[in-house]
Structure 1
């Protein structure tokens, strides 16, 4: 379990992120059109997983905006923005913000992603939403970077995630 904070108050996730060098576990998430998306859909591409509690919070929205901006400059890279928000809320946000360079995916159906990647909160006011984390994969699906953001209201380290991509 990873202990993080929400405005200074400790809360826990169900486990720790997949380790650097490990093969990323498969997943099935829901796209905006309600079809399924699987990790295998991104085979041969670098993948940034921007994981967060809810698109309707300022920090989560900013992380999507920032990765959308940064993704426009990356070759052979997909940015997946993953939360338990309904796909309709994700689509509403992207439409209103002009977000086009990331793929919004939802874990609302069964929470399997949150459990498999150990990012689901196990206690506190946000349980069972997803904690704020970033996981970067190389083209072979190996984890090359991970960050469990220690304070939930803080933004992830965008620069470190992008550097991991450039060094892969």
Structure 2
């Protein structure tokens, strides 16, 4: 289990993020148009997984906005913003914010992504949601960078993540 905090209060995840140098596990997530997307749909590209509890919180919304800005300048790279929010909420947020450089994906249907990547929160008020994490996968499907934000209300380290690409 990873030990993280929510406003200074200890909470845990069900495990630890995948290790760098390992193959990224495939997944099936729901896009805002209700189609199914998997990691193999982005084969041959660098993939930034921006993972968070809910787009309806300030820090989560900020991370989507920041990656949306930075994604426009990244070559052969796609940013996937992943939460358990319903695809309708993700679409509403993107429409209201003018978000168009990232792909919003939902793990609402079965939660298998959060379990497979071991970033599901195990206890506390956010139990069963995703912990704030970044996972970067190279063109070959290998994990080259991970960050599990230790205090869930804090933003990820955008600079470190983008420098890993």
Same fold (TM over 0.5): yes
Partner of 1:161 in structure 2?
A: 161
- Structure 1 SS opposite 2:4: strand
Q: CA separation in 2, counterparts of 1:118 and 1:148?
A: 11
- Structure 2 SS opposite 1:100: coil
Shift of 1:20: 0.4
Aligned Cα RMSD in Å? 0.3
Which TM-score applies when normalising by structure 1?
0.98
Q: CA separation in 2, counterparts of 1:145 and 1:78?
A: 15
Q: CA separation in 2, counterparts of 1:18 and 1:24?
A: 8
Does residue 101 of the first structure (1) align with residue 101 of the second (2)? yes
- Structure 1 SS opposite 2:161: helix
Partner of 2:73 in structure 1?
A: 73
- Structure 2 SS opposite 1:135: strand
Partner of 1:22 in structure 2?
A: 22
Partner of 1:60 in structure 2?
A: 60
Superposed CA deviations along residues 96-129 of structure 1, whole A, max 9, x for unmatched, are 0000000000000000000000010011100100
Partner of 1:92 in structure 2?
A: 92
Q: CA separation in 2, counterparts of 1:38 and 1:5?
A: 30
Does residue 124 of the first structure (1) align with residue 154 of the second (2)? no
Shift of 1:61: 0.1
Q: CA separation in 2, counterparts of 1:152 and 1:118?
A: 16
Does residue 82 of the first structure (1) align with residue 82 of the second (2)? yes
- Structure 2 SS opposite 1:145: strand
Q: Which runs of 5+ in 2 are unaligned?
A: none
Runs (4 or more) in structure 1 with deviation over 6 Å come to none
Partner of 1:49 in structure 2?
A: 49
Q: Which runs of 5+ in 1 are unaligned?
A: none
Q: CA separation in 2, counterparts of 1:127 and 1:78?
A: 28
Shift of 1:34: 0.8
Does residue 39 of the first structure (1) align with residue 39 of the second (2)? yes
Superposed CA deviations along residues 56-97 of structure 1, whole A, max 9, x for unmatched, are 000000000000000000000000000000000000000000
